């Protein structure tokens, strides 16, 4: 199955906010701008569904604002609980200053 690259706006706008919540293909996705890198991960923490796009980002990890679980944004790996399940990541492409996301079809809704 071919993945569709969805435009979510300009790289400059994402840089200004640092993170963005988007809904693509019925999936909620948190998008983070980390310096020159843009990464996308499931929006909901695997512990109690906290909103990761509202979490604090420290050293490439996002901290869930509800219970403090930490996830490596680039891989979705749990780095600190109480969460136990890793999160799915999504492919990000930058084209002429615009950010595109390819949704991982295996990511939860």
SS (HEC) of 58-105: ECCEEECCCCCCEEECCCCCEEECCCCCCCCEEEEEEECCEEEEECCC
Query: Is 107 a member of any domain?
Result: no
Cα separation, 12 vs 51, whole angstroms:
23
- 35-74 pLDDT, tens per residue? 889 999 999 999 999 999 999 999 999 999 999 999 999 9
Helix/strand/coil for 11 = helix
Residue 75: inside a domain: yes
Query: Which residues does residue 39 pair with via DSSP β-bridges, in sequence order?
Result: 32
The predicted model gives 90-105 an average pLDDT of 94
Which domain range does residue 17 map to? 5-102
The pLDDT, as a whole number, for residue 106 is: 75
Residue 104 has a pLDDT of 86
Quick check: is 108 in a domain? no
**Is residue 30's pLDDT more than 70?**
yes
Assign residue 83 the CATH number of its domain: 2.102.10.10
The reported pTM is 0.91
Flag whether 109 is in a domain: no
In a domain, 45, yes or no: yes
- Domain count within the chain: 1
Residue 107 pLDDT: 58
Q: What is the pLDDT of residue 1?
A: 60
For residue 87, tell me if it sits in a domain. yes
């Amino acid at each position: 199955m071919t993945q569709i690259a969805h435009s979510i706006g300009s790289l400059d706008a994402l840089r200004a906010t640092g993170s963005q919540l988007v809904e693509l293909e019925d999936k909620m996705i948190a998008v983070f701008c980390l310096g020159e890198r843009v990464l996308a991960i499931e929006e909901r923490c695997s512990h109690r569904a906290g909103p990761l796009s509202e979490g604090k980002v420290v050293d490439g990890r996002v901290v869930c604002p509800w219970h403090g679980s930490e996830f490596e944004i680039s891989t979705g790996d749990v780095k600190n609980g109480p969460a136990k399940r890793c999160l799915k990541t999504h492919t990000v492409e930058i084209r002429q200053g615009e950010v595109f996301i390819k949704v991982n079809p295996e990511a939860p809704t």
